Structure 1
Amino acid sequence: MFHEWSMQLGQTPGGPGPQPEAEELWEREMEWLRASQEPLRLLPYAMVDKRFIRQMREPEDMEMTCWQQWQRRQQTMAHRLREAAWRLARGFGLWEGALYEIGGLFGSGIRSYFTFLRFLLLLNLLTVLLTANFVLVPLAWLHPPGPSPAPNFTLQCPRGHQPQTDVPRFHNRLWNVLTGRAFNNTYLFYGAYRAGPESSSAYSIRLAYLLCPLACLMLCFCGTLRRMVKGLPQRPGLGQAYRVPLSAKVFSSWDFCIHVREAATIKKHEISNEFKGYLEESHRLRGAQRETPAQRACRLLSYLRINVLMGLLVAGGISAIFWATKYSQDNKEEPLFLVLQYLPPGVISLVNFLGPMVFVFLVQLENYPPSTEVNLTLIWCVVLKLASLGMFSFSLGQTMLCIGRNKTSCEAYGYNACDYQCWENSVGEELYKLIIFNFLLTVAFAFLVSLPRRLLVERFSGRFWTWLDREEFLVPKNVLDIVAGQAVTWMGLFYCPLLPLFHSIFLFLTFYIKKYTLLRNCRASPRLFRASSSTFFFQLVLLLGLLLAAAPLGYVVSSTHSSWDCGLFSNYSAPWQVVQELVALRLPVPGQRVLHYLGSHAFSFPLLILLSLVLTVCVSQSQANARAIHVLRKQLVWQVQEKWHLVEELSRLLPEPGSSESPIPDSPHFRASRPRSFGPGFPSPGSPGPRPGPFHTDRP
């Protein structure tokens, strides 16, 4: 284009060529392109025009040397290699093809669950990598000492109470693997980690073991928060009620690069599901706008009734978990100990299995929108799951650490030393059993419940089998299952440093199990919802699980006495004491004074004032940005109106093609002679209907 125009500008004045106005516009465009520093790849021109622009930007009196030409070729080649590597990495991404297939067949809402599962797998792999690099590798390099000698104190236990030993009580190897007793002397549990005095080595294994879980939790928090903020609706310049026009979805949804029939089928299903979700949300929105005040009050009362009923169910569930855990820990010497080992995980799984089903049934009775139904069910499932884990942790703390009750065996040692000599290993075993039990339930439900149900429904016909039908893939229940498993994994970072490795394997297998269940045994939900309405909530639930795991860990590290005869902190009153010891041993006096000042009240008050100022500035900047966006939106509307006014004036003044006189503006001949459109998306002022603008709903 540019080359042709330049040839036309070089013609004789009498020959055909551009008009003076066009020549002036051409010169302005050339000056702007010559002075602009915008990268060529961002300019909306063809490759031939971009080469012409690059030649214009180069100085005329300077020729490129061979070295500069070689550098430019190397830069171009490096850029192409980076783009090719990025495309190759995306092509070999984990489960990209499976996620595309799931999203096309079942919608973006169900695909968001599998994307969330992949994100959790990456978090666990990162945690395993940090633990291996900062704890396991230095521990193997430094050759830890052998088992510590027996403690020089005698346990004063009541009659009938004998201290536990680490020797497995049962000789069944499979049972020892399922309960974790087979790994008591391995690096899976806290009791197998040992180290010499802090003054004998330059690298502190104790400090690394203590700070690694905290660093992992902080990294997981930052990654989850970043993903949650990234999933927020990015519509700061649009109104709250702005919706993407359906025409944009119709004309821009298809991918014209598809050449495979299977991919085209999946894409058609994906577009169909997107249209269904969009139309259903539009119908719900119009219905909500037509509600009367009485109908709105009835709807709020139904919300209140459902929430009160669900709250009572949650209270009953966590009470059952508390008593099951207490009974299991208080009856360790009973003949039914084999069954009591898995009584707390069994009760927790039963409550968390029946709870979401009852919640879904109660919510579906009120005929809520799909997104509201998913979010409301997810809220109460979150409350049930997190309350279950919290009550389970409190029950273990009450039994092993005597939290909330007085017990003679805890007064001298800070924990129940008579029943739990290495209480960290006992807690790790309970969390290990929870992870194992959850995965076994996933496998059992996939192949012993969902698969037989599908086979029976396909084989038999009748009213009952029609009513039963295939299983529907419930996103809230499945999300809460993996969030609960991840919360248990985070809770066990101190007691089971390698528990994320087991959980990573289970997540990897869970993806394929859930994919098989979804594609073979489940049916597509008739009520679709978009991923944008649930992904943010998934990340919020994960953050709540992380906070639930961090609270007990912080209490144990700072305030709980460690076991006397196992682990790295056997000689410390609390694990955090090793930080104080290292500060006193290896930090100079000025550094100690700085740390003492940072932990004092003299530093907390200026820090609080500084944080208040920063928060005030951020809020003020946010409000200023909101006002600026509002003003810019109004200016955009005014500019559109001004352009329409210019279009009207231009169409009134332009003569009819082929006529020497201008028709009367109000005559039918004038309206018929005007063009039907002025540009893409801008119909002629004389055409019927309102004049569209990008923000016509906010016209002043």
Structure 2
Amino acid sequence: MMDKRLIWQLREPAGTQTLRWQRWQRRRQTVERRLREAAQRLARGLGLWEGALYEIGGLFGTGIQSYFTFLRFLLLLNLLSLLPTASFVLLPLAWLSPPDPGPALNLTLQCPGSSQSQTGVLKFHNQVWHVLTGRALTNTYLFYGAYQVGPESSSAYSIRLAYLLSPLACLLLCFCGTLQRMVKGLPQKTLLGQDYKVPLSSKVFSSWDFCIRVQEAATIKKHEIRNEFKVELEEGRHFQLMQQQTRTQRVCHLLSYLRVNVLIGLLVVGAISAIFWATKYSQDNKEESLFLLLQYLPPGVIALVNFLGPLLFTFLVQLENYPPNTEVNLTLIWCVVLKLASLGMFFFSLGQTILCIGRDKTSCESYGYNACDYQCWENSVGEELYKLSIFNFLLTVAFAFLVTLPRRLLVDRFSGRFWAWLDREEFLVPKNVLDIVAAQTVTWMGLFYCPLLPLLSSVFLFLTFYIKKYTLLKNSRASSRPFRASSSTFFFQLVLLLGLLLAVVPLGYVVSSVHSSLDCGLFTNYSAPWQVVPELVALGLPPLGQRALHYLGSHAFSFPLLIMLSLVLTVCISQTQANARAIHRLRKQLMWQVQEKWHLVEDLSRLLPEPGPRDSVESPASRASRPRSFCPGFPCPGSPGPRDLRPGSSVVDALGLRSPCAGPRGTPASTHRVLFPSGPEL
């Protein structure tokens, strides 16, 4: 209480009167600070998978931990994407009474043939198969066809507009979240420069956490420090090898690089061609008796291509002996090309069959889509994307418990040269990242056709985390080439952003240009879903608002907007360049301070008397008279200044971990001292 009174007197000295408003403001700030601290503690305590991520990062390094962190980010992104649809479509739709079913579709188009009844196939169709194919859920809110509403004039709230804008809002939220996460660590790396590295000595002496008291946490921390040192030494070794290469070796390395990448490009072209023909054959023969197997032919071919592709890419890239980060990123880039190209080709082949893109078909002339075979074509596309999501998750479960687990049991049970060569499955981060990115891209593609697909994807991601964790801890081994998570996280977010852009292109084309189906859905009377926007503008807005919207969509508004964006971009670039110049000046100032301290040490070493034969043993009095700030952080007097890296020295020698303090006459001292970092190291 006495301390509190003292603090109160310091805040409000005697003779001063504090206003009641100021006291209330101070009390409010104190309460807000305490509430904010309590919320932060609660958020850290309730953080999803915090303990599991700490364990994985400590045992296997930050590179593998970044995969699980990325998986958690996708789970939160899907839950966030579900909010607009649930809030603006499902809840209002629950309050409105469903409209009376309209008359059945009466096509006046002469179709080339009637659809044959699949009497021989129906006996194979059970309820489980209907769930796997999506036919059992066609009349639910999972698919587009179940959303029905009356005309726009019958209600003040437009379900059609909410249904149209909800996918766009989801994609915008995902874009902002991915972009913010992608550029989070980019400015620091850009401003500091590519050659900036933290000295290894600082990691040696400051890596341990002295607050650890539990033996399990101490073991995990030891593994984490060891993995960090592995990455540092591996990168230093590759850097020295690259510096020692001759011009001929570099040319040979470039030719080998081109040869490997051309070979990988040919493999990608062959893979997407196989996906195109598999999808075309499955859709053209959907009335055959083998339709049960043909329904999952495109997902099966996509899964086979995406399983064999990363393995071949990893094998071919490892032949080049790249640094760990470069190897992972290059493999990831080619896996991105394969994954996104396969999904793009799959979607294009569906559009060619259903929407007759690039095909001259009679049934598409009046309706803009294949009205004979796909009366509710939105549901057909939604079923294909639903099957692709289900197949990806089932494939993850099958590989975890039918391939990886038996392989681990056989390797642990038997001994021999073959089993030693087989070993446990290696946990490949690029392959696993691309699997969940492809699944997320499929989810984004299906936002218009399957509005509740993010909920299904969230369940799959939640289960995938525990399946992958079990596979990593029990059945797999870490990669033999460690890499740093900071350089790969940017590529993970870039891949996700590319998948988002791939999903936006077909969605924008369908919403703006494709005729809606006449048999189901909210937009049965519209030539395109976007036509509901001009209709609502004409019905609900006054003439002044209509003119304002017309001006915002005209070319007259685009020029001021372009000028404003140019000014904002100029300001941002100028601020970035100013920050870079400030950092450069601060680094030069730090170098000057180091050089000034070197000069002071040299002057002090010249002023001190040289030890004679009788002064070989230093007395306690002379030791006490020596200045206390003489040697900490600096080499002993008479030693040379900062030295550049010699061709034969190692990275650790350059940082001063093995360089002893030299005496005044060149004799080594009794203790080793750490050299202060020189200018280039700062």
Relative to structure 1, the CA distance from residue 240 to residue 122 in structure 2 (aligned partners, 3 Å threshold; closer, same or farther) is same
Distance 1:254 1:628, change over 3 A: closer
Deviations 1:136-192 (A, max 9, x none): 00000112213222245533212345799xx99964100000000000100000000
Kindly indicate whether residue 423 of structure 2 is the aligned counterpart of residue 469 of structure 1.
yes
The answer for the alignment partner of 1:347 in structure 2 is: 301
Distance 1:70 1:619 in 2: 42
1:690 corresponds in structure 2 to 642
> Match for residue 162 of structure 2?
208
**Is 1:507 aligned to 2:490, yes or no?**
no
Q: Offset of 1:200 from its aligned partner? A: 1.2
The 1:422–1:606 alpha-carbon spacing in structure 2 relative to 1, beyond 3 Å, is same
Write out aligned runs for 1:124-203 (5 A): 124-151=78-105, 153-160=107-114, 171-203=125-157
Partner of 2:447: 493
Aligned length, in residue pairs? 639
Q: For the structure 1 residues 258 and 300, does the alpha-carbon distance in structure 2 shift closer, same or farther, using more than 3 Å as the test?
A: same
Structure 1 residues 347 and 64, CA, compared in 2 at 3 Å: closer, same or farther? same
Residue of 354, 374, 377 corresponding to 2:331: 377
Partner Cα distance (1:69, 1:610) in 2: 44
Structure 2 contact 318–327 (Cα < 8 Å) conserved: yes
Alpha-carbon separation, structure 1, partners of 2:292 and 2:242:
55
Counterpart in 1 of 2:16?
A: 62
Show the counterpart of 2:175: 221
Local SS of the residue matching 1:234? helix
> What is residue 542 of structure 1 aligned with on the other side?
496
| Aligned: 1:116 with 2:70 | yes
Q: Which one of 620, 639, 643 corresponds to residue 574 of structure 2?
A: 620
Q: Distance in 2 between matches of 1:394 and 1:504?
A: 26
Q: Normalization by structure 2: what TM-score?
A: 0.88
Give the unaligned 5+ runs of structure 1. Answer: 1-47, 653-662
Q: Within 2, Cα distance between the matches of 1:360 and 1:689?
A: 45
Q: What residue number does 1:242 align with? A: 196
Look up the SS of the partner of 2:186 in the other structure: coil
Matched, 1:681 2:681: no
In 2, the alpha carbon distance for the partners of 1:150 and 1:118 equals 45
The answer for the alignment partner of 1:86 in structure 2 is 40
- Give me the TM-score of the superposition, normalised by structure 1: 0.86
Name the aligned partner's letter for residue 326 of structure 1.
K
Is the contact between residue 196 and residue 681 of structure 2 (CA under 8 Å) also seen in structure 1? Answer: no
- Structure 2: gaps (5+ residues): 644-674
2:557 to 594, 599, 603: 603
Per the alignment, residue 662 of structure 2 pairs with none
Distance 1:629 1:136 in 2: 52
1-side partners of 2:429 and 2:300: how far apart?
22
Between the aligned partners of 1:627 and 1:49, the Cα distance in structure 2 is 47
Matches within 5 A, 1:17-28: none
Distance (whole Å) between structure 1 residues aligned to residue 68 and residue 277 of structure 2: 35
* 8 Å Cα contact 2:363-2:372 kept in structure 1: yes
In 1, Cα distance between equivalents of 2:187 and 2:216: 32
Counterpart-to-counterpart distance in 2, 1:179 and 1:93: 36
Given that 2:335 and 2:431 are in contact with CA atoms closer than 8 Å, whether structure 1 keeps it comes out as yes
Q: What do residues 63-117 of structure 1 show as CA deviations (whole Å, max 9, x unaligned)? A: 6699987976775465344323312321221000110111111110000000000
Query: Any idea what the Cα deviations from partners look like across 1:362-392, whole Å, max 9, x if unmatched?
Result: 1122222211111111111100000000000
Code of the aligned partner of 2:455: L
Match of 1:425 among 376, 379, 389: 379
Between 1:107-116 and 1:603-612, the stretch displaced more is 603-612
| 1:330 matched to 2:267 | no
Decide whether the 8 Å contact of 2:408 with 2:423 is kept in 1: yes
- Match of residue 280 from structure 1: 234
C-alpha deviation, 1:645, in angstroms:
4.5
Matched to 1:464, the amino acid is F
Compared CA separation, residues 599 and 76, structure 1 to 2 (3 A): closer
Structure 1 letter corresponding to 2:465: F
Report how far residue 619 of structure 1 moved. Answer: 2.8
> Structure 1 residue 604: deviation in Å?
2.1
> How far off its partner does 1:689 sit?
4.9
Task: Give the aligned partner of residue 312 of structure 1.
Answer: 266
- 1:13 alignment partner in structure 2: none
Using the alignment, how far apart are the partners of 1:589 and 1:78 within structure 2? 47
Q: CA–CA distance in 2 between the matches of 1:419 and 1:496?
A: 20
Taking only the aligned residue pairs, the percentage that are identical comes to 79
Deviation at 1:668, TM superposition (A): 4.2
- Residue number in structure 2 paired with 1:36: none
Aligned match of 1:576: 530
